C-alpha cells in the first residue's frame, strides 16, 4: 500500500512498550507534573491504579485510544448492560462519563439515520468499519439486494467485524477491505458512507478536509455521508457548545481527570460546528444537516453529495 497522508492507526496504534511500561510512564508523568488545581497527585495515581483493574482501562492505558472492539463495548452497553460485570470506575465510564454517554447516543442516531436511507440495491461503506454495528444492527428484513462494505486499517478489527457479521447472519452481504481511509481511491461506488472515529483523532484540519474529499469522491451522485465530531468541552477561556444544563459537572470533571489529565487519550481533537461545516464544504459537500446528542457533545452530521 502506498503511504498516504495518514499511514498509521490514529486511534489505538500499538506503542513500543508493554502495559507495565505504559503504566509506569503515566505514573512518572503524574508525579513529575505535580498537583493540579482540580486533582491531587494522590487522586490521579489512585484512579490510574483503578483503571488497571479492568480490561477496558488496561487497553486505554496501553494504547491511549479505542479499537473497534472496545468502541463497540461502550456503544453496546445500553442494550447489553445486564451482560456486563463492572468495576466502579468502569461503571462510571459506561454510565456517567459525558463523552461516553454522548457516543452511545451518537451510535443510536447513526443507526436511526442509516435505517432511513436504506433502499433496494444500496451499497454502503463503513470507514473505519470497527465492528460495523451501525450497519449490522439494522433491520434488512424487507430487503433482498444490498451490499455492506467494511474498510479499516486494523486487520484485527476487520476479523472481529467478520465475526459480528456471521453472528448477525449477514456475512453473505458483506465485503471487507484492509485499507487506509486517506487513500481509498474509490470513485462513485457508494450510496452511503458512515464514518465515526477518524476526525476526532486528527488535529490537522487540512488532513480532515482531505479525508472528507476521499469520501466525497467515493460517493455516487446524491450519495450521503454520515459522520460525527466532538465539540469543545467547557475549559477555561474557551467557548463550549455543550448544553451545560444536560451535563453533570462532577462527572465532567472526573472524565477530564481520567481521559485528559491521566490518560491523555488520543481523541482530544475538538471542533466547532462552524469549522466542521467549512471542512465538509471545502471537500465538496453543500447540503449539510446536524443531529445533536442530548448534551451537544458528539453531534452527527449528514452531508449529501
Instruction: Convert the pLDDT of each residue in 208-248 to its tens digit.
Output: 999 999 999 999 999 999 999 999 998 756 789 999 999 99
On whether both 86 and 110 belong to a single domain, the answer is no
Kind and range of the H or E run holding 192: strand 190-195
On whether both 79 and 122 belong to a single domain, the answer is no
Determine, yes or no, domain membership for 82: yes
On whether both 153 and 288 belong to a single domain, the answer is yes
On whether both 184 and 282 belong to a single domain, the answer is yes
Determine, yes or no, domain membership for 2: no
On whether both 284 and 144 belong to a single domain, the answer is yes
Give the burial class of 95: count Cβ atoms within 10 A of its Cβ; 0-12 exposed, 13-18 middle, 19 or more buried.
Answer: middle
Residue 1 has pLDDT above 50, yes or no: no
On whether both 222 and 292 belong to a single domain, the answer is yes
Tens-digit pLDDT profile for residues 183-201: 999 999 999 999 998 999 9
In this structure, are residues 98 and 295 in contact, taking their beta carbons and an 8 Å threshold? yes
Residue 85 has pLDDT above 90, yes or no: no
Taking the whole predicted model, whether its pTM rises above 0.85 is answered as yes
On whether both 167 and 294 belong to a single domain, the answer is yes
Determine, yes or no, domain membership for 40: yes
- How far is 211 from 196, CA to CA, in rounded Å? 12
The domain containing residue 292 runs over which residues? Answer: 103-231+270-304
Q: Coil, strand or helix: which one is 248?
A: coil
Mean pLDDT of 23-33: 97
Tens-digit pLDDT profile for residues 128-146: 999 999 999 999 999 999 9
Mean pLDDT of 246-269: 94
Count of domains for the chain = 2
List CB contacts of 237: < 8 A, sequence separation 6 or more: none
Determine, yes or no, domain membership for 294: yes
Determine, yes or no, domain membership for 7: no
Q: What is the pLDDT of residue 10?
A: 45
Q: What is the pLDDT of residue 268?
A: 82
- How far is 62 from 23, CA to CA, in rounded Å? 7
Amino acid at each position: 500500500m502506498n503511504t498516504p497522508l495518514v499511514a498509521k492507526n490514529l486511534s489505538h496504534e500499538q506503542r513500543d512498550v508493554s502495559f507495565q511500561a505504559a503504566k509506569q510512564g503515566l505514573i512518572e508523568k503524574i508525579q513529575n507534573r505535580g498537583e493540579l488545581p482540580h486533582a491531587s497527585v494522590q487522586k490521579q495515581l489512585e484512579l490510574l491504579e483503578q483503571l488497571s483493574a479492568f480490561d477496558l482501562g488496561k487497553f486505554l492505558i496501553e494504547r491511549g485510544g479505542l479499537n473497534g472492539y472496545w468502541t463497540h463495548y461502550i456503544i453496546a452497553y445500553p442494550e447489553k448492560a445486564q451482560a456486563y460485570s463492572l468495576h466502579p470506575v468502569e461503571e462510571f465510564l459506561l454510565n456517567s462519563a459525558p463523552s461516553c454517554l454522548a457516543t452511545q447516543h451518537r451510535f443510536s442516531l447513526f443507526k436511526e439515520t442509516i435505517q432511513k436511507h436504506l433502499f433496494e440495491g444500496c451499497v454502503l461503506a463503513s470507514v473505519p468499519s470497527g465492528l460495523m454495528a451501525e450497519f449490522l444492527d439494522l433491520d434488512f428484513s424487507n430487503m433482498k439486494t444490498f451490499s455492506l462494505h467494511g474498510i479499516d486499517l486494523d486487520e484485527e478489527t476487520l476479523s472481529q467485524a467478520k465475526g459480528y457479521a456471521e453472528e448477525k447472519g449477514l456475512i453473505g452481504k458483506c465485503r471487507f477491505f484492509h485499507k487506509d481511509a486517506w487513500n481509498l481511491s474509490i470513485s462513485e461506488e457508494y450510496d452511503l458512507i458512515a464514518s465515526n472515529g477518524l476526525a476526532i483523532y486528527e488535529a490537522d484540519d487540512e488532513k480532515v478536509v482531505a479525508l472528507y474529499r476521499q469520501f466525497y469522491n467515493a460517493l455516487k451522485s446524491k450519495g450521503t455521508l454520515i459522520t460525527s465530531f466532538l465539540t469543545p468541552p467547557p475549559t477555561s477561556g474557551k467557548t463550549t457548545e455543550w448544553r451545560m444544563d444536560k451535563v453533570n459537572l462532577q462527572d465532567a470533571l472526573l472524565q477530564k481527570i481520567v481521559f485528559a489529565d491521566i490518560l491523555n487519550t488520543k481523541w482530544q481533537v475538538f471542533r466547532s460546528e462552524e469549522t466542521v461545516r467549512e471542512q465538509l464544504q471545502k471537500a465538496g459537500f453543500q447540503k449539510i444537516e446536524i443531529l445533536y446528542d442530548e448534551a451537544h457533545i458528539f453531534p452527527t452530521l449528514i452531508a449529501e453529495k
